[in-house]
Amino acid sequence: MTTLTPTELHQIHGFWRACNYLAAGMIYLQDNPLLREPLKPEHIKNRLLGHWGTSPGLSFIYTHLNRVINKFDLNAIYLAGPGHGAPGVLAPVYLEGSYSEIYTDKSEDLEGMRAFFRQFSFPGGIGSHCTPETPGSIHEGGELGYSISHAYGTVLDTPDLISVVVVGDGEAETGPLATAWHSNKFLDPRRDGVVLPILHLNGYKINNPTILARIGHQELESLLEGYGYTPYFVEGDDYDTMHEAMATTLDRCIEDIHALQARARLEGNLDRPMYPAIVFRSPKGWTGPKSLDGHQIEGSWRSHQVPLKAVKHDPDQLHMLVDWLKSYYPEELFDEEGKLRSEFRSLAPQGTKRMGSNPHANGGLLRKSLHLPDFRQYGVDVQVPGTIEVSNTYPLGVLMRDIIKANPHNFRLFGPDETASNQLQAVYEATKKVWWGSYLPADADGSEMALDGRVMEMLSEHTLEGWLEGYLLTGRHGLLSTYEAFVHVIDSMFNQHAKWLEISRKLSWRAEVASLNLLITSTVWRQDHNGFTHQDPGFLDLVANKSMEVVRIYLPPDVNCLLTIADRCFRRTDRINVIVSDKQPHLQYLTMDAAIAHCNKGIGMWEWASTDLGVEPDLVITCAGDVPTQEALAATAILHQAFPDLKIRFINVVDLLALQPPLEYPNGLSDRDFDSLFTIDKPIIFNFHGYPWLIHRLAYRRTNHVNLHVRGYKEKGNINTPLELAMNNQIDRFTLAIDAIDRVPKLQVAGAHTKEQLKNRQIECRQYAYAHGTDLPEVVNWRWKNLD
Amino acid sequence: MTTLTPTELHQIHGFWRACNYLAAGMIYLQDNPLLREPLKPEHIKNRLLGHWGTSPGLSFIYTHLNRVINKFDLNAIYLAGPGHGAPGVLAPVYLEGSYSEIYTDKSEDLEGMRAFFRQFSFPGGIGSHCTPETPGSIHEGGELGYSISHAYGTVLDTPDLISVVVVGDGEAETGPLATAWHSNKFLDPRRDGVVLPILHLNGYKINNPTILARIGHQELESLLEGYGYTPYFVEGDDYDTMHEAMATTLDRCIEDIHALQARARLEGNLDRPMYPAIVFRSPKGWTGPKSLDGHQIEGSWRSHQVPLKAVKHDPDQLHMLVDWLKSYYPEELFDEEGKLRSEFRSLAPQGTKRMGSNPHANGGLLRKSLHLPDFRQYGVDVQVPGTIEVSNTYPLGVLMRDIIKANPHNFRLFGPDETASNQLQAVYEATKKVWWGSYLPADADGSEMALDGRVMEMLSEHTLEGWLEGYLLTGRHGLLSTYEAFVHVIDSMFNQHAKWLEISRKLSWRAEVASLNLLITSTVWRQDHNGFTHQDPGFLDLVANKSMEVVRIYLPPDVNCLLTIADRCFRRTDRINVIVSDKQPHLQYLTMDAAIAHCNKGIGMWEWASTDLGVEPDLVITCAGDVPTQEALAATAILHQAFPDLKIRFINVVDLLALQPPLEYPNGLSDRDFDSLFTIDKPIIFNFHGYPWLIHRLAYRRTNHVNLHVRGYKEKGNINTPLELAMNNQIDRFTLAIDAIDRVPKLQVAGAHTKEQLKNRQIECRQYAYAHGTDLPEVVNWRWKNLD
């Protein structure tokens, strides 16, 4: 008794043959798509690009999933981990009809197939990864290593979804992938769907075998068991045997998954499920040319890219290509018009059950706006600016607590073991941290863990970012908070997501997804017990390289600004919002109304801290970031006390990129407004949170750039008190005041004595820190006093 | 029959008690170090910083290693993976005497101990990670996840070294750590030493349990077996039992290691060894306070940092601290002077056998300069600039082939499966890729794999970077080549290594290590078959944020420059050299002598491409990078043909950071030279390899910055031909020529027609690409013609 009837086997093998035909066609053919006339060199593309090697395996799996989706009426999506796997995905997506519905010129006929082939890896066409242009894809695979974490993100809060993720054995060597297997400890079988990982051992990378293909069966089985899965092996190269093995195994896996779900959902058995995983070992470049010039192609790294490279000019290779293409018997597969015959096409599910049309893979379609409480209710009551201290991030936690309450299936908070450390612990009043590892009695005492928590903590920024991206791309909302220095761990993931969004925004059929919100905290200026390794504000430089359509950088100086910004970030779509805010207590400056007005502008004057009302200032003091704002204000106070007649204009920057002109950034300050705010010829002292050069880069086009003097972090740190660290990097109040004296013409003589005093004060502060391990109390307890 | 005699047990427990006493002392005491007088609040530090939780486990292991080093006469170093583990390492390093030999004021007496305590996590003192200031450390652990890859790097080519790496169960959740376990497939037991990983399950991170502590024994055992290790478990909390178990297990592990080495070295059995690994499960904050205010401390996440936070102000907690400290019986451990009594001190090995004094952990001491062949022999014979094409990277592979031949135990090449793809395959004439996975018959056909290869390829940039850092920090040399877009994967590792070097350079006792050389290739401008995801030149922005003492960025335009730069990089110490060079064929410009002269200057005029000889130019055309140089030259040719009287000065930048003044960068161009080269008022068109803003950031202080017009990559790409991609980002010859016409006053009218022609030419080029999938042959085959 076999799993597949002969008819099913015929159907499956036919669908797969059609996939392989299309994959090869995409790589080679610009015309004569079904070989209805003899293949000639002019039918071959001028440049042969694309990767054959991984494609047959990818489409083999896709084909088989079609059968089980129908059999079990599954809600399933497909993530292709291997790089350059697009031909193996585009082919079945085209054959099932999803492709032509979106791209009507790539219709299911000869002409459409020609266009479909031609566009592949062709200027103005589509790439060889599963880019946003690929229907059914939420995972491009351009950079390797994120397939599993993406897949786990998709199934959170979607109890009926099965995300099948094909893991390339190349990408399986990456760190992010290697730890993402542990995502299964964060899945609630009652509430979440299931990820079915299929480790595709095709054995080779570009030029090397893969580790997991060469460690032997026992080690690999142990590894997957150690990761917490029940591994099944489908291995071989004989078509019929492999079809039967795959069908049997997939049936078994789906039955396992349903049984484990029933165990939790119906029986209330809350043991952590050991979900199935499949090891699928098939030859690289399967069904392709066996060898060339005495070198093995199929089953070797030589089939990684284009197996026959000289077909356009070498008649022998052209002949081999014809043999190869005809080995799939295209005339049996496609009808006169060039459409897949219905006997094969009926393998594909219908409508949105097709993996290329499943709305979970175009998550904006499913996105529901968050129910957001009025953020103004969570603000700080500021009577006098700069006189009370509050942790800037704590109230954001309170806001998110209520967001979680109001959106019980639609929002999650992510962080690498730092939610409480980052002062967001109020969320635990609404939900806990999800945990499906074992529990100990001591956990009852304040561990904040639960099986159904909505806070996700794992010490892997990669996994968190991957989960969040998967969650967002399937239509939900979230925020990731992480330490500033270590957000660099996910630099490359940030880049890839920004690129994904930028392309997606240009595709009318891709619905808008919620923005990816990154809260960068535990910042460079408060590292008294972490030291030099934890001091790096350079993520902002990276962010500013990406498309200004997609990225935002916010540096709220206080709670009310942070809340205003957060509310905005939770509402906007298709962006990456980077919010920098320290977790420790900081002075509060703006009333809620003032904060809203300030954030709307992005860059604005603080009149209460300025002494130039109604007149042209002598000096502009500008700041961005919480600690730099405090020091800039303290410098302003020092200058005002020493030189009561000095006209100082105080400006704060919240929306950092608005320093650019509107041509570069939608919310950018016009040249006219910039000149009016920053003057065209007065000295500007800019105290910045990050590396100082970023400000020059954003403002170099402005009229008064020549007078712009920027202070920021410049790699001068160790175990320092806050003031000492500020002094080392010259963002402290004393240095800023000295900078001002040096730059305002009328102070250059008059200010000599004050400068001397300030320098002595710096020495005194440093000596105190070295003697006591803390800063001078009067510096620590400094408060703003309204200017007379 | 026990492993430990009663006397040994007493000695080991005593040494460990002393370690724990010191670890607690570091966190709390600024005076009265041995409690020779009643403990008073003024003896307590004002700020209590540091992490107690992981320290007892770290020193437990260190203590036990002391015994086996003596017993087996081992050459061993110690890597502490857990973050904030310094107290657990500093303590035994001090007790063995290594610390006082380097830092003579931290002497082995009362006064020294006071200073030793006081400096810890104190302004002007040392941090709580195993920073470069820590004798015996090559791994700071400030950022988590790199301990295992670092450890594997240390043992390459050091057959007698055993690197013991304690892996924190927190860091074990990171991606880089999770895949680094597979490093054992790249170790040759005949030639390399051994890494003994000790997974320290103390169970908790900051606020959460760890995954590996909560998956159960069977899963964890399977996981480690799956990673290819033979796991041993040491678990418990009873001191005597744990000492005996650890001693027995360590003996067994060392015997296993020696047996596996003998098997390979003496018997010639080349099966991959399944080396031992230890799972060490002990309570977090072991031996510390059991509970506080009804909450469990020992064995819980509450012991992560400072267990008793209020000792300075709360007499009860002060009393608890006294009880805690006295529980180690310091009076039994230390003599009258305050030195560890000899009965315990004799546990420590002697001289350089002490892990705090082992020269492998101060690798510059062992560093031998490379035998470098004359790089000039590997150059390209350039008769006429810009007329022949050669892959820029290929000759570097030939040079490295001969470096490997001349330095058979001292140099390795690292890359993520891309050595041949990056055109460095000539190295395979000297050595192969090391591989200890299984072999198949087909591997004999060109796979370039061998058991004793010196090229290390794994698809994990993290692991490669970690290996290379470990290899360099133990005194050897190497180079890592990687794709430009994905060097961002190791952004954070780069940051951490730069910080390590910056601190190390300030420590006179740390000998200089070889520079870390990163070859960035497969660059943004040649991604015709990879597309948008592979286009990101932003790593340079990150590099430019680090200390200019440590980092270098080179953009050699051709082979002869690349060879010159490479030779320099292989000679210099204590730096990170980033070399950007594409792998594909590029035009060659400079003779070897010209290249050497050009690279010595860093920025220089190319007279053969300039038309301003002896006069002030109308226009300066500048470029950095191979593709931008080609386009800038083509633009120069277009302009010269159209406007024969136009005086163009052509400048190329190799040493990018030299755009800065000497105050910022040692090799920086003086203002005088800059003004002389770039003029003070003529338009400058700068064609740059990376994001254009970086040039503004480097040059904003220069006189003529206002006339500096920079072109570079600005996220406008997809599947494009080379010229089309250049046009999308406006670094192409036509755009540059149009830019020049727009900016040179005398061309603004005269050039109107030419501008029109150039714009039409762009349209024509784009249409050709869309029609044929390639660029116009006359563009592809463009060659420089000497100016008349």
**Of B596, B591, B580, B581, nearest in space to B543 by CA:** B580
Contacts for B161 with CB less than 8 Å, ≥ 6 apart: B75, B76, B77, B154, B155, B193, B194, B360
pLDDT of B440 strictly over 80 = yes
Flag whether residue A300 sits within 8 Å of chain B, measured between CB atoms.
Answer: yes
Give the pLDDT of residue B53. 94
Tokens representing residue A732 in the block? 């402290």
Question: What number of residues does chain B have?
Answer: 788
- How confident is the model over B289-300, as a mean pLDDT? 93
pLDDT of A1 strictly over 90 = no
Rounded to whole angstroms, how far apart are CA atoms B269 and A18? 48
Closest CA of chain B from A281, distance in Å: 15
- How confident is the model over B172-193, as a mean pLDDT? 98
What residues in B contact A209, CB-CB < 8 Å?
435, 437, 440, 443, 447, 449
Contacts for B501 with CB less than 8 Å, ≥ 6 apart: B513, B550, B574, B575, B576
Q: What angle do CA A407, A413, A417 make, to 5 degrees?
A: 155
Closest CA of chain A from B219, distance in Å: 4
Q: Dihedral of CA A320/A321/A326/A331: which sign? A: negative
Q: pTM of the full predicted structure?
A: 0.98
Give the pLDDT of residue A153. 98
How far is the CA of B295 from the CAs of A443, A712, A788, B612, in angstroms?
11, 42, 51, 80
Give the pLDDT of residue B179. 98
How far is the CA of A205 from the CAs of A146, A304, A631, B458, B523, in angstroms?
17, 7, 53, 10, 20
Flag whether residue B457 sits within 8 Å of chain A, measured between CB atoms.
Answer: yes
Flag whether residue B31 sits within 8 Å of chain A, measured between CB atoms.
Answer: no
pLDDT digits (tens, 9 = 90+) for B455-499: 999 999 999 999 999 999 999 999 999 999 999 999 999 999 999
What residues in B contact A665, CB-CB < 8 Å?
none
Q: B367 near B475, Cβ under 8 Å? A: yes
pLDDT band at B240 (very low <50, low <70, confident <90, very high): very high
ipTM above 0.90, yes or no: yes
Residue A530, exposed/middle/buried by CB under 10 A (0-12, 13-18, 19+)? Answer: buried
Give the pLDDT of residue B269. 97
pLDDT of B186 strictly over 90 = yes
Query: HSE-up of B737 (CA within 13 Å, CB side)?
Result: 28
Residues 559-578 of B with CB under 8 A from A: none
Q: Which CATH architecture has domain B606-656+668-780?
A: 3-Layer(aba) Sandwich (3.40)
pLDDT digits (tens, 9 = 90+) for B72-87: 999 999 999 999 999 9
What residues in A contact B199, CB-CB < 8 Å?
none
pLDDT band at B260 (very low <50, low <70, confident <90, very high): very high
pLDDT digits (tens, 9 = 90+) for B389-425: 999 999 999 999 999 999 999 999 999 988 988 999 9
Cα distance from N-terminal residue to C-terminal residue, chain A = 94
Tokens representing residue A756 in the block? 């001397």
Tokens representing residue A690 in the block? 């990050």
Tokens representing residue A34 in the block? 């079904």
- Cβ distance of B420 and A121 shorter than 8 Å: no
Closest CA of chain A from B6, distance in Å: 35
pLDDT digits (tens, 9 = 90+) for B245-255: 999 999 999 99
Nearest chain B residue (CA) to A50: B529
- How confident is the model over A284-298, as a mean pLDDT? 94
Residue matched to tokens 């399986």: A172
Give the pLDDT of residue A90. 98
Rounded to whole angstroms, how far apart are CA atoms A198 and A162? 12
- Considering CB atoms only, which of A438, A459, A492 is closest to B174? A459
CA B731 to chain CA centroid, Å, is 32
Residue matched to tokens 């003994």: B196
3-state secondary structure of A377: helix
Q: What is the CATH number of domain B6-365?
A: 3.40.50.970
Nearest chain B residue (CA) to A543: B538
Residues 134-153 of B with CB under 8 A from A: 140, 142-145
pLDDT band at A527 (very low <50, low <70, confident <90, very high): confident
Helices (H), B96-238: 98-102, 110-119, 147-155, 175-180, 217-226
Give the pLDDT of residue B225. 98
> Residue A244 CB: number of other CB atoms within 10 A?
18
Please give the backbone phi and psi of residue B689, each rounded to the nearest 5 degrees, phi first: -65, -40
pLDDT digits (tens, 9 = 90+) for B80-118: 999 999 999 999 999 999 999 999 999 999 999 999 999
Give the pLDDT of residue A165. 98
Mean pLDDT of chain A: 96
pLDDT of B788 strictly over 80 = no
Give the pLDDT of residue B614. 82
Q: Which CATH architecture has domain A605-780?
A: 3-Layer(aba) Sandwich (3.40)
- Cβ distance of B462 and A175 shorter than 8 Å: yes
What residues in B contact A291, CB-CB < 8 Å?
none
What residues in A contact B206, CB-CB < 8 Å?
417-418, 420-421
A-B contacts at Cβ under 8 angstroms: 376
**Side chain identity, residue A52:** W
- How confident is the model over B203-209, as a mean pLDDT? 89
Helices (H), B350-490: 394-406, 461-473
**Of A205, A196, A203, A199, nearest in space to A234 by CA:** A199
- To the nearest 10 degrees (0 to 180), the angle between helices A86-95 and A55-72 is 40
Q: B451 near B188, Cβ under 8 Å? A: yes
Residue A670, exposed/middle/buried by CB under 10 A (0-12, 13-18, 19+)? Answer: exposed
CATH superfamily of B386-586: Thiamin diphosphate (ThDP)-binding fold, Pyr/PP domains (3.40.50.970)
DSSP class of B46: S
DSSP class of B216: -
| Poorest-pLDDT segment among A479-493, A672-686, B292-306 | B292-306
pLDDT of A529 strictly over 90 = no
What residues in A contact B221, CB-CB < 8 Å?
226
pLDDT digits (tens, 9 = 90+) for B633-681: 999 999 999 999 999 999 999 999 999 999 999 999 999 999 999 999 9
Rounded to whole angstroms, how far apart are CA atoms B57 and A460? 23
Q: DSSP E strands: which ranges in B407-511?
A: 411-415, 433-434, 449-450, 455-457, 477-483
- Cβ distance of A47 and B496 shorter than 8 Å: no
CATH superfamily of A375-586: Thiamin diphosphate (ThDP)-binding fold, Pyr/PP domains (3.40.50.970)
Task: Specify the higher pLDDT residue, B718 or A254.
Answer: A254
Closest CA of chain A from B545, distance in Å: 7
Q: A485 near A497, Cβ under 8 Å? A: no
3-state secondary structure of A654: coil
3-state secondary structure of A160: coil
pLDDT band at A206 (very low <50, low <70, confident <90, very high): confident
Q: B414 near B467, Cβ under 8 Å? A: yes
Q: Per CATH, which fold does A6-348 belong to?
A: Rossmann fold (3.40.50)
Flag whether residue A422 sits within 8 Å of chain B, measured between CB atoms.
Answer: no
Give the pLDDT of residue A647. 97
- Beta strands A295-296; A291-292: pairing state: antiparallel
Tokens representing residue A470 in the block? 């998967």
Mean pLDDT of chain B: 96
Residue A239, exposed/middle/buried by CB under 10 A (0-12, 13-18, 19+)? Answer: middle
Q: B169 near B138, Cβ under 8 Å? A: no
CA B307 to chain CA centroid, Å, is 34
**Side chain identity, residue A458:** M
Residues 520-549 of A with CB under 8 A from B: 528-534, 536, 538, 541-542, 544-547
Q: Alpha-carbon dihedral of residues A536, A538, A540, A544, nearest 10 degrees? A: 180
Helix (H) / strand (E) element for B281: namely strand B276-281
pLDDT band at B23 (very low <50, low <70, confident <90, very high): very high
pLDDT digits (tens, 9 = 90+) for A9-53: 999 999 999 999 999 999 999 999 999 999 999 999 999 988 999
**Side chain identity, residue A501:** L
Residues 228-287 of A with CB under 8 A from B: 228
User: In chain A, what are the domain boundaries?
Assistant: 6-348, 375-586, 605-780
Please give the backbone phi and psi of residue A145, each rounded to the nearest 5 degrees, phi first: 120, -5
- To the nearest 10 degrees (0 to 180), the angle between helices B6-28 and B315-326 is 150
B141: left (phi over 0), alpha (psi -120 to 50) or beta: left
Give the pLDDT of residue A418. 84
Give the pLDDT of residue B9. 98
Residue A37, exposed/middle/buried by CB under 10 A (0-12, 13-18, 19+)? Answer: exposed
Q: A375-586 with A605-780: one CATH topology?
A: yes
Q: What angle do CA A631, A633, A638 make, to 5 degrees?
A: 95
pLDDT of A758 strictly over 90 = yes
- Cβ distance of A214 and B496 shorter than 8 Å: no
- Cβ distance of A127 and B173 shorter than 8 Å: no
B92: left (phi over 0), alpha (psi -120 to 50) or beta: alpha
Flag whether residue B220 sits within 8 Å of chain A, measured between CB atoms.
Answer: yes
What residues in B contact A142, CB-CB < 8 Å?
530-534
Rounded to whole angstroms, how far apart are CA atoms A235 and A237? 7
- Beta strands A449-450; A295-296: pairing state: unpaired
Rounded to whole angstroms, how far apart are CA atoms A519 and A577? 8
Give the pLDDT of residue B293. 92
Give the pLDDT of residue A786. 84
Give the pLDDT of residue A29. 97
Tokens representing residue A650 in the block? 């105080």
| Poorest-pLDDT segment among A182-191, A214-223, B301-310 | B301-310
- How confident is the model over B727-737, as a mean pLDDT? 98
DSSP class of A1: -
